[in-house]
Chains A and B, each alone.
Chain A
């Protein structure tokens, strides 16, 4: 089983719908992240969390919210999805004293029609 698991792996939804992407990890890491990947743009950080009570906005947080339900679970929500949120979303983790290595899930491909 994967150390960082994302669900769903693929989702098609309509404009205005609420959508939640879930991430769970078995690596025991304190830090968790949500990234968005768009072709030709690389990865951009949406939100990150150092622990259950410490959540921070990243580079592109507008239109997104997150919840850290437990050390192992970090979910990303789109309250009212719009077409330009169509992208590949990655959850990642890292240890508390990190030198930059991130451990990624396999991604959730979201299409907003």
Chain B
């Protein structure tokens, strides 16, 4: 069994401030972990993924996430928020090697960026 908890359904940051979106997972086997982003009126797109290689993963648009097994966390960060980062972000987990059909998504965190 696997699950994902995203802390905070809505996060607001000022432009230029640090972005931190929290994700904790539960998995009975070694997990693969993902962050997807959904811009308004669009489908989701992959931001970054952890598949048991380096624990610090870099993604598109300056985002990165660190896999911490001891904390069962995979938090998403970006040093300086841009207005264009306003979107909804989803953390997802699957058993390692299982494939996309076993992805479990979190409930999402909506990021607002204040000018």
Contact = CB atoms under 8 A, between A and B. Distances in A.
Interface of A: 4, 31, 33, 40-45, 48, 50, 56, 58, 90, 92, 94, 97-102, 104-107
A101 B51 CA distance: 11
Nearest to B43: A104
Given A42-B108, A100-B49, A100-B100, 9 more contacts: A4-B43, A42-B107, A45-B101, A90-B44, A97-B99, A100-B99, A101-B49, A101-B100, A107-B41
A90 B42 CA distance: 10
A90 B103 CA distance: 14
Interface residues of B, number: 24
Contact of A43 (B32, B44, B94): B44
Contact of B101 (A48, A90, A99, A105): A48
Nearest to A99: B51
Contacts of B105: 42-44
A43 B90 contact: yes
B88 to A, nearest CB: 10
Nearest to B6: A42
Interface of B: 9, 32, 34, 36, 41-46, 49, 51, 90, 92, 94, 97, 99-101, 103, 105-108
A100 B32 contact: yes
Nearest to B103: A100
A94 B99 contact: yes
15 contacts: A40-B108, A42-B105, A42-B107, A58-B101, A99-B32, A100-B34, A100-B92, A100-B94, A101-B49, A102-B36, A102-B44, A102-B46, A102-B100, A106-B42, A106-B43
